[in-house]
Amino acid sequence: VHYRVTLAYDGTDFAGWQLQAAGSRQRTVQGVLEDAIARLAGGVRVPVAGAGRTDAGVHALGQVACFELGRAIDPERLQRALNAMLPADLCVLHAAEAPAGFHARKSAVSKLYRYVLDTAPVQLPTRRRYAGHAPDLDPGRVAEAARLYLGRHDFASVASAGGSARTTVRSVTRSEPAWEGETLIYEIEAGGFLRKMARSLVGGLIAVGRGALSPDQLRQALLARDRRGWPAPAPARGLTLVRVDYAALR
């Protein structure tokens, strides 16, 4: 039977989503989840596919994963049993039987990420774990930079070297900065994301927002399709995978 789970995690103490090479001692979300499922399945190890391969330190409120179990189990019992075994920084928010052919990554039609950025001169210690920090950004310039990302572009300039994508063309359907006092809450939605794309695009907002680049220079850097001209990515701790959408399931 095929199952689909919605996951939340605090990425701080994970080396990202993806299972590392055999023998690696790195703690990954996929590895910890597969361990728990194996205990549930009496030691039988099954592979788990995740919708987004979040980097080390990136959080999730709505990551989606799927896997196959040999025997049927009530989804609510599955959720409770997994949560009883999972560590405090990873939990199952929802479990359901998945339709035939469903794949957490391949069936996804869009993903929504949120980046939280404190812009006050001193960042509060209680915010460090879940927000980046870049003092004195100009909201008008940030908004102008965010508009540049909207639409279908070749995002080769923000594609990290380690990525495996065949094409670097992606469609950004939402790119919205919002402010709560001195905190920037930036939401970006796209059909798919290249490796480190979300953090690199936030790096672009920061560079323009503090005046290191003009909006036009950022536009040129995007058109150049060259990673070397792009500002540094924002730190992982401010980024959260908020939601994954599946057309057939809405």
Which amino acids are annotated catalytic? 55
Please return the burial class of 111, using the count of CB atoms within 10 Å of its CB with bins 0-12, 13-18 and 19+: buried
Pick 231 or 238: Cβ nearer a second copy? 238
Strand partners, 67: 3
Min dist CB 162 to a second copy, Å, is 26
Rounded-to-integer distance, Cα 166 and Cα 188, Å: 22
Taking the complex as a whole, how short is the minimal distance between the CB of residue 88 and a second copy, in angstroms?
6
Please give the size of the binding site for a second copy, defined by CB under 8 A.
21
**Binding test (CB under 8 A) with a second copy, winner from 3, 5, 10, 146:** 10
The DSSP-derived string for 164-224 is --S--EEEEEEEEEEEETTEEEEEEEES---TTHHHHHHHHHHHHHTTSS-HHHHHHHHHT
Figure out which of the listed residues 1, 72, 109, 124 binds a second copy, where binding follows CB under 8 A: 124
Tokens standing for residue 200: 């690199």
Contact window for a second copy (CB under 8 A) among 83-91, 95-103, 149-157, 241-249: 83-91
Burial 7-16 (b: 16+ CB within 10 A, else e): bbbbbeebbb
84 binds a second copy (CB under 8 A): no
Q: Contact with a second copy (CB under 8 A): which of 2, 8, 168, 171?
A: 8
Residues in region 41-60 near a second copy by CB under 8 A: 59
Token pair listed for 72: 């049927």
Q: Kindly list the residues in this chain that would bind a second copy in the complex (CB under 8 A).
A: 8-10, 59, 61, 83, 88-93, 122-126, 128-130, 240
